[in-house]
Amino acid sequence: MELAVILALDVVSGAASLLLLCLGLAIIFGMMRIINLAHGEFVMLGAYATVISTNAGVNIWFAMLVISPVFVGLVGLVIERCLIQFLYGRLVDTMLATWGLSLLIIGIVTTIFGNTINGVPTPLGGFAIGAYRSSYYTLFLALMALVVMALIYVVMRYTRFGLIARATMQNPQMAAALGIAPARVYMATFAIGAGLTGLAGGLLAPISGIVPTMGSAYVAKAFISVVGGGAAILSGTASAAGLFGTINQLGAYFTTPVYGEVILFLSAILLIRLLPTGISGRFYKGSL
């Protein structure tokens, strides 16, 4: 029984961290159709922002929740202006450009901070359930995943900006005809997506080893979740992250971490084979 509770916590934390990793990508890829292969590097930049500001004496919560998303959001803004804005509608070209971008970011960070492993200690500490132990931080991650999801929902569903953003993504010509500048909406949306990814990086910093190349460990999982989720950025991504997070954690527990990864990727292939438009293409058609 105690073990079951601990396992349930593992599943929750696995799904929550996957969801946090995916939301920024869901906006950039799911909404804007930009294949951002530098997604992992945005995560890495967020993690570095947290580590460096914490080491400089900033409160860790402020670093994770404010500095990381704002910093990576600004980086995203610059990247959108300098690179992405010329490539809208050219899927393959964005792939190449962002791949180069990811190598460039890794190179820059390595040059500045070197290749050594960095990090910050995990705040909050642990608690016991019977003979087993887990950390409060996993619960905090789950809470953050819910908060971020709610935030995206409210912004997209109830605010003017959300409406404009959704309209622009669906039909930029029509939006432009109604007096909206699609270029500015794209810019803002990309920056928000990058900022959310930076937040994920900041939140994962206390439980990861941080090196310039850490992004590659995350990018594949984030993509399969977003693709598996389909067009609906919230319901699709959340259900895919929940599904894949559970499969990965239970797979890793009952077999080995090696098979856990294999099972995860096999089930992703199976899912895409059975539901070519992703989970939301079938179950949450037309929802946010």
Partner 1 sequence: MSYSRRQFLRSSIAGSVTILAAPALISRHAYGADDPILVGSLHDQSGPIAASGVPMVAALNLGIEEVNAAGGLLGRPLQLVHYDTQSNIQMYSQYAQQLAVKDKVAVVHGGITSASREAVRPTFDRFKVLYFYNTLYEGGVCDRNTFCTGTTPAQTVEKLVPYAMGKSGKKVYIIAADYNYGQITSKWMAKYVKDNGGEVLSVDFFPLDVTNFGPTISKIQAAKPDLILSALVGGNHTSFYRQWTSAGMKSQIPIASTTFGLVNEPSTLDASESEGILGAYGYFEELTTPASTDFVGKLRAKTPDLPYIAELAAGTYEGFYLWVEAVKKAGVIDRMAVIEALESGITFEGPSGKVVLDHATHHTTRNAYLAEVKERKWSVLETFPEAKPLDTAGVCDLVKNPTDNKQYVIDV
Copy the structure tokens of residue 118.
């960095």
The residue from 61, 86, 127, 161 that contacts partner 1 (CB under 8 A) is 127
Q: Cα–Cα distance between 195 and 113 in angstroms, integer? A: 22
CB 58 within 8 A of CB 232: no
134 beta partners: 127
Site for partner 1 in 159-178 (CB under 8 A): none
The residue from 27, 252, 264, 271 that contacts partner 1 (CB under 8 A) is 252
124: closest CA among 145, 138, 112, 106?
138
Contact letters (x/-) for partner 1, 93-122, by CB under 8 A?
Answer: -----------------x---xxxxxxxxx
Shortest CB 259 distance to partner 1, Å: 10
The residue from 104, 124, 146, 154 that contacts partner 1 (CB under 8 A) is 124
Shortest CB 202 distance to partner 1, Å: 15
Q: What DSSP character marks residue 275?
A: -
Cα dihedral 235/17/134/243 (nearest 10): 40
Shortest CB 274 distance to partner 1, Å: 26
- Under the binding rule (CB under 8 A), the answer on residue 237 touching partner 1 is no
Site for partner 1 in 9-38 (CB under 8 A): 9-10, 13-14, 17
Q: Cα–Cα distance between 138 and 238 in angstroms, integer? A: 17
- Under the binding rule (CB under 8 A), the answer on residue 138 touching partner 1 is yes
**Residue bearing tokens 């259900």:** 239
Shortest CB 261 distance to partner 1, Å: 6
- Under the binding rule (CB under 8 A), the answer on residue 125 touching partner 1 is yes
The residue from 60, 248, 264, 284 that contacts partner 1 (CB under 8 A) is 248
Output 132-136 pairs: Cβ under 8 A, ≥24 positions apart.
132/2, 132/3, 132/5, 132/6, 134/6, 134/9
Site for partner 1 in 202-221 (CB under 8 A): 204, 206-211, 213-214, 216-218
Shortest CB 50 distance to partner 1, Å: 13
Q: At what angle do helices 2-25 and 182-204 cross, to 10 degrees?
A: 150
Shortest CB 114 distance to partner 1, Å: 7
CB 168 within 8 A of CB 182: yes
Give the binding-site size for partner 1 (rule: CB under 8 A).
Answer: 52
Shortest CB 266 distance to partner 1, Å: 15
The smaller minimum CB distance to partner 1, of residues 232 and 264, is found at 264
Q: Exposed (0-12), middle (13-18) or buried (19+): which is 129, by Cβ within 10 Å?
A: middle
Which sign, positive or negative, has the C-alpha torsion 109, 209, 69, 241?
positive
Give the footprint of partner 1 on this chain (CB under 8 A): 3, 6-7, 9-10, 13-14, 17, 110, 114-122, 124-128, 131-135, 137-138, 204, 206-211, 213-214, 216-218, 248-250, 252-253, 256-258, 260-261
